[in-house]
Structure 1
Amino acid sequence: MELRHLRYFVAVAEELNFRKAAENLSITRPALSKQIKDLENEIGVKLLDRDTVSVSLTKAGEVFQSDARTLLDLAEKAIERATEAQAGRIGKLRIGSVGVIATDFLPATLKIFNKRYPGVEVSFVEMHPEEQLDALESGTIDVGFAYGTDPLGQAEMDLLCVIKSHFGIAVSKHHPWASRDQVDLAETQRETMLCLGNGSRSHREEVNRFITEEGHPTPRIRSIEGFDSFLTMIAADQGISMLPVVLDLTTQGIVILPFTSKNIFEFKMWAVWKKDTPSEMVTHFIKLLEERT
């Protein structure tokens, strides 16, 4: 049994007239009659009582008509939803979370996105930025974020710069440096440097590389898992860190100070997504990010 059989039967059931139903369906009356007969033979149920002058539904036909209409409605809705999904207007968009660093652009972008595409359910997946390229490759997330001047390496991804800033020294508001205008990078050797993550593309690797390039010894570094824990440790004066000055963490008890050095420690954060045939949902989201940058 095919959907056309249901459409043909419902058309006849509504008109109770083969000629009118055939005209509505743009097929010939004999062809319509054969399709109805084929349907009755296939399901083994007589649906219509018919003679040379009239057509009427059997009791079984009345029940079948109601259910056939429901099935046709469901099929139509399925087609509509598939079309909406292909156009990126419904579905699920999974984004790699980067915590407070994204507060400068992400909440406003999501507000516009949700207004334009209310049928899309946005969810965040907690993970470090260095994990997000692998998550994009595996399909765990649809949009991720990465740091650094060359965040992709050999990955087949597209990217968009969403934040460009430079690093400063992040200290607790209770730290002796908190009231200073700036800090000499050499002074950080006496402190524990707190870093987020521990991978090859991690915050720790970036900080260690920069300090080494500046000609200073490798500092005493402590890696912290989880951005909330990382900020809590800084605010609790358990160490200092290096964070982009664009962040405003004063409400969390953290001050970010400029530091003197030979070079500027540049910070870039990128939105990253699969290069090959991104979904329309991803395309819509990235377009909104572009409009804000």
Structure 2
Amino acid sequence: MELQHLRYVLAVAETNSFTRGAERCFVAQSALSHQIARLERELGAKLFERTSRRVRLTAAGEAFLPAARQCLDAAERAVAEVAAAVGEVRGRLTVGAIPTVAAVDIPVALREFHRRYPLVRVGLRSGASEELVDAVKQGSLEVAFLGLPTTARPHGVNARELARDHLVAVTAPDHPLAELSQVDLRRLTEETFVDFPAGTAGRAQSDEAFAAAGLDREVAFEVTTADFMAKLIRQGLGVAMLPSAYTPQLTGVATIPVLGAPGRVEYLVWSRAGLSPAATAFLDALSSHPG
């Protein structure tokens, strides 16, 4: 078994196609198919079910894939560690971020990081805070930027608080609330809401505030990104509550301070299982220039 065999299996599994897998690996399809068949003979089990219409993993393939990924990650990590030992940072950095990060300008931070460490390949993934924490715990992400209610903290990961903020009401510019200098939670319950999906940290920030005040509200639209939320708000479909430090990035909406506004805390988290040289360099860079 060779590392290249594992790369071929991973490419086919991720593309669901021998043709696209071969293209990703820059190899002829016949050569890729031959090497996977050779690996299957060595393992004594088929890794893929092949039909004229699709390719999918067998039960054996599903069992094989996580270990194959770990082997490839370990090999890449070994190369990066050797490079770091001679003063060169290279390899791969995996970063996760919620869409409403405001404490750090992530594109600027990555630009500076890439300027200093051009040999590092960066993978950036967006998601909800709880998903990103799980990904850091499992090792598919090394570093992540989160936003949580003031009542919550990240668990199972290393964490550093970046900033504290509060939510503001966000409406269409011609909405009656846009003329107010301040609004309270009770008045907001008269409105239809656009919010993040139930059960997410982004949603909990607002849910907990209304619940603590003994108030109910109607959430008619659930979306996963704040920019799409703003599109619905501009169409007059509802109002939202978003972090005050993030809302200046939105256009075509009005923001109103909220009396008794929910609070939130932004965190930087990273794995407890040890970091790659690239991730260590990224954290050092953020510590030097936290903004």
Give the shorter-chain TM-score range: 0.5 to 0.7
TM-score, length basis structure 2: 0.64
Matches within 5 A, 1:130-141: 130-141=130-141
**Alignment match, 1:204:** 203
User: What letter matches 1:168 in structure 2?
Assistant: V
> How far has the Cα of 1:109 moved from its partner?
1.5
User: What letter matches 2:246 in structure 1?
Assistant: L
User: What letter matches 1:220 in structure 2?
Assistant: E
Give the whole-Å Cα distance in 2 for the aligned partners of 1:232 and 1:245: 18
User: What letter matches 1:253 in structure 2?
Assistant: G
**Alignment match, 1:189:** 189
**Alignment match, 1:226:** 225
In structure 2, the CA distance between the partners of 1:195 and 1:275, relative to structure 1 (3 Å rule), is same
**Over the residues paired in the alignment, what is the CA RMSD in angstroms?**
2.5
Matches within 5 A, 1:117-128: 117-128=117-128
**Alignment match, 2:290:** 292
2:265 is aligned with 1:268 = yes
Matches within 5 A, 1:222-261: 222-249=221-248, 251-261=250-260
Aligned residues: 210
Give the whole-Å Cα distance in 2 for the aligned partners of 1:275 and 1:265: 30
In structure 2, the CA distance between the partners of 1:173 and 1:103, relative to structure 1 (3 Å rule), is farther
Give the whole-Å Cα distance in 2 for the aligned partners of 1:108 and 1:271: 16
> How far has the Cα of 1:280 moved from its partner?
2.3
User: What letter matches 1:275 in structure 2?
Assistant: R
In structure 2, the CA distance between the partners of 1:197 and 1:89, relative to structure 1 (3 Å rule), is farther
Give the whole-Å Cα distance in 1 for the aligned partners of 2:284 and 2:176: 44
**Alignment match, 1:70:** none
Matches within 5 A, 1:77-116: 83-84=82-83, 89-102=89-102, 104-116=104-116
Give the whole-Å Cα distance in 2 for the aligned partners of 1:126 and 1:168: 23
> How far has the Cα of 1:131 moved from its partner?
0.9
> How far has the Cα of 1:231 moved from its partner?
2.5
- Cα pair 1:162 1:269 within 8 Å, conserved: yes
In structure 2, the CA distance between the partners of 1:212 and 1:83, relative to structure 1 (3 Å rule), is same
**Alignment match, 1:57:** none
User: What letter matches 1:167 in structure 2?
Assistant: L
- Cα pair 2:223 2:229 within 8 Å, conserved: yes
Q: What SS does structure 2 have at the residue aligned with 1:170?
A: strand
Q: 1:282 is matched with which residue: 259, 279, 283?
A: 279
> How far has the Cα of 1:239 moved from its partner?
1.1
Matches within 5 A, 1:14-163: 83-84=82-83, 89-102=89-102, 104-148=104-148, 149=150, 151-152=152-153, 155-163=155-163
Q: What SS does structure 2 have at the residue aligned with 1:137?
A: helix
In structure 2, the CA distance between the partners of 1:251 and 1:225, relative to structure 1 (3 Å rule), is closer
Give the whole-Å Cα distance in 2 for the aligned partners of 1:81 and 1:104: 26
| Deviation per residue, 1:246-279 (Å, 9 max, x gap) | 1244652122211123xx5222111111123222
- Cα pair 1:128 1:197 within 8 Å, conserved: no
> How far has the Cα of 1:219 moved from its partner?
0.9
| Deviation per residue, 1:119-171 (Å, 9 max, x gap) | 11112113222211111122222212222235445x32111222321111111
Give the whole-Å Cα distance in 2 for the aligned partners of 1:80 and 1:281: 12
- Cα pair 1:161 1:269 within 8 Å, conserved: yes
Q: What SS does structure 1 have at the residue aligned with 2:178?
A: coil
Q: What SS does structure 1 have at the residue aligned with 2:176?
A: coil
Give the whole-Å Cα distance in 2 for the aligned partners of 1:142 and 1:255: 36
In structure 2, the CA distance between the partners of 1:246 and 1:225, relative to structure 1 (3 Å rule), is closer
| Deviation per residue, 1:23-46 (Å, 9 max, x gap) | xxxxxxxxxxxxxxxxxxxxxxxx
In structure 2, the CA distance between the partners of 1:270 and 1:250, relative to structure 1 (3 Å rule), is closer
